[in-house]
Amino acid sequence: MHDPRRPGDGVTLKPVDRHLEEILATVRAVTPLELDLDQALGTVLAENVTSPLPLPPFDNSAMDGYAVRAEDVAGASETRPVVLPVMDDVAAGDGRTYAVGRGMAARIMTGAPVPGGADAVVPVEWTDGGTVRVAIRRAPEPGNAIRRAGEDVRPGQVVLPAGTPIGPAQLGILAGVGRRRARVLPRPRVVVMSTGAELVPPGEPLAPGKIYESNSYTLCGAVRQAGAEAYRAEAVTDDPAVFLDRLESQLVRADVVITSGGVSMGAYEPVKEALAPLGTVRFDKVAMQPGMPQGFGVVGEDRVPIFCLPGNPVSAFVSFVLFVRPALDKMRGLPAGPPKTVPATVDAPLRSPKGKRSFLRGVLDGDVVSPVRGQGSHQLGALAAANALIVVPEDVTEVPKGATVRVIPL
Ligand SMILES: Nc1nc2c(c(=O)[nH]1)N[C@H]1C(S)=C(S)[C@@H](COP(=O)(O)OP(=O)(O)OC[C@H]3O[C@@H](n4cnc5c(N)ncnc54)[C@H](O)[C@@H]3O)O[C@H]1N2
Ligand code: MOO
């Protein structure tokens, strides 16, 4: 870990890693609940799921064809086909009991139970397709095209351990072993609130001095990508009382709150002014760029974690990647830590302020990363052109072209 630094203005900066450690020490996994499978995508399993039955549940055919005794057709060939009487027609889902006697065949469909006595299925392509008698032109090995009961899953087998994120294939195995519901850690509910008197919702006319509110779109998108539910609260102006009021009314539906803006040094900083006096939310300057001003703590009776991110759009997004996303991982019951990095060669020189860890926006292509033009923390356009953050450590101020750097793919 790096020591806090003292930049020119004499303020001690908090190390990035310590800020994340404090956040991860505060947030807890959400409370598990039973959910219908249709609601379970993106949740994390909170029980070991065992199968009450074998899968497949019974020996069944892998192909459309004829169930036979392999020894009866052992000599079959193109020039000397073996002709057998077709006694039955077994379709998938047929619950009756069939048997194939010596010297006989039954027509069988993919997924249908293999009749007693039969030990091989001859694909229809190896035959003349007859329905009364069938001419078989090729000899199957015993066991050919038969899917054995329990070859995929044994009864009592754990098919999914607790802690498994539920994706489409996991929904499939849950349904496949007959489960309608599962005990899961649900997707955390995240309320996103923007602050600023200059903000106008996109789609409305823009008056002088105003800008379109974009952070809540970035942050709600990032929240959803992180496996959580996002709720956008109406943006609030610069009044701390209004902010507190709005926050209170949102807490009922929040496992986490994210605000953006209003945490810096200006004359109107509603988030900081409203929350700092509570004593449960800390406002720090973190040794990073962008994203230096950060608030984090808990609010309300239920001690809901709150992230007060800086308002600059790039700062808010970078802060999400570094701090909120790992917190959401922990709340979802997943391993949580700093974002993963990969090595890359940088194709242009980089500069970074002393004492701060920089997260420069770049385009990663294979193992080469190019910084985008426009590294200001207000530059939404440049952020949208990037697919990676280039990490420059606190003690490095210049990186030459061709150097190896660590990169966070976005
Ligand atoms: N004297 C100082 N000024 C500033 C400092 C400082 O240390 N001393 N820190 C700067 C840094 S670094 C950042 S980052 C910003 C953080 O400011 P706030 O969190 O208080 O955010 P605002 O002032 O409300 O907004 C900053 C900037 O971002 C735009 N913004 C805000 N919210 C949105 C939104 N939802 N959608 C789009 N754009 C938004 C806002 O219009 C401002 O341009 O403070 C620096 N100043
Ligand atoms: O640290 Mo602020 O977040 O430049 O942009």
Q: Report ipTM (2 d.p.).
A: 0.98
Question: Residues 6 or more apart from 295 whose CB is under 8 A from it?
Answer: 259, 263, 271, 272, 275, 281, 282, 283, 284, 306, 307, 308, 309
Backbone angles phi, psi at 216, to 5 degrees: -65, -30
Question: How far, in Å, CA of 225 to CA of 222, rounded?
Answer: 5
Query: Alpha carbon of 188 to those of 28, 31, 256, 293: distances in Å?
Result: 11, 9, 7, 25
Question: How far, in Å, CA of 361 to CA of 23, rounded?
Answer: 24
Is residue 199 lining ligand 1, measured as CB closer than 6 Å?
A: yes
Give the pLDDT of residue 264: 86
Scan for tokens 């985008």, then name that residue: 372
Per the DSSP assignment, residues forming a β-bridge with 107 are 66, 89
- How much distance in Å is there from the Cα of 309 to the middle of ligand 1? 9
Query: Which residue's CA is the nearest one to ligand 1's atom 30?
Result: 311
What are the pLDDT digits (tens) for 194-237? 999 999 999 999 999 999 999 999 999 999 999 999 999 999 98
Query: Which residue's CA is the nearest one to ligand 2's atom 5?
Result: 290
- How much distance in Å is there from the Cα of 308 to the middle of ligand 2? 13
Averaged over 287-292, what is the pLDDT? 98
Question: How far, in Å, CA of 137 to CA of 81, rounded?
Answer: 4
Query: Alpha carbon of 56 to those of 112, 175, 321: distances in Å?
Result: 11, 13, 43
| Beta strand segments in 181-277, E | 181-185, 189-195, 199-200, 211-212, 229-236, 256-260
Is residue 115 lining ligand 2, measured as CB closer than 6 Å?
A: no
* pLDDT over 80 at 73, yes or no: yes
Q: Tell which atom from ligand 1 comes closest to the C-alpha of 309.
A: 19
- How much distance in Å is there from the Cα of 262 to the middle of ligand 1? 7
Is residue 377 lining ligand 2, measured as CB closer than 6 Å?
A: yes
Give the pLDDT of residue 318: 98
Taken in order of first residue, the domains within the chain and their CATH numbers are 34-55+151-185 (3.90.105.10), 60-147 (2.170.190.11), 187-331 (3.40.980.10), 342-409 (2.40.340.10)
The tokens for 168 are 């489409």
- Whole-structure pTM value: 0.91
- How much distance in Å is there from the Cα of 310 to the middle of ligand 2? 7
Phi-psi region of 227 (alpha: psi -120 to 50; beta: other; left: phi over 0): left
Give the pLDDT of residue 238: 85
- How much distance in Å is there from the Cα of 371 to the middle of ligand 2? 18
The tokens for 38 are 């249709």
* pLDDT over 50 at 403, yes or no: yes
- How much distance in Å is there from the Cα of 128 to the middle of ligand 2? 76
Is residue 237 lining ligand 1, measured as CB closer than 6 Å?
A: no
Query: Which residue's CA is the nearest one to ligand 2's atom 3?
Result: 291
Question: For residues 88 and 114, is the Cβ–Cβ distance under 8 A?
Answer: no
DSSP string over 313-344 = HHHHHHHIIIIIHHHHHHHTTS---SPP-EEE
* pLDDT over 70 at 242, yes or no: yes
Is residue 292 lining ligand 2, measured as CB closer than 6 Å?
A: yes
Is residue 284 lining ligand 1, measured as CB closer than 6 Å?
A: no
* pLDDT over 90 at 6, yes or no: no
Ligand nearest to the CA of 314: 2
- How much distance in Å is there from the Cα of 269 to the middle of ligand 1? 10
Averaged over 49-69, what is the pLDDT? 98
- How much distance in Å is there from the Cα of 389 to the middle of ligand 1? 20
What are the pLDDT digits (tens) for 360-383? 999 999 999 999 999 999 999 999
Q: Count the alpha carbons within 13 Å of 95 in the hemisphere toward its beta carbon.
A: 0
Question: How far, in Å, CA of 270 to CA of 202, rounded?
Answer: 22
Is residue 267 lining ligand 1, measured as CB closer than 6 Å?
A: no
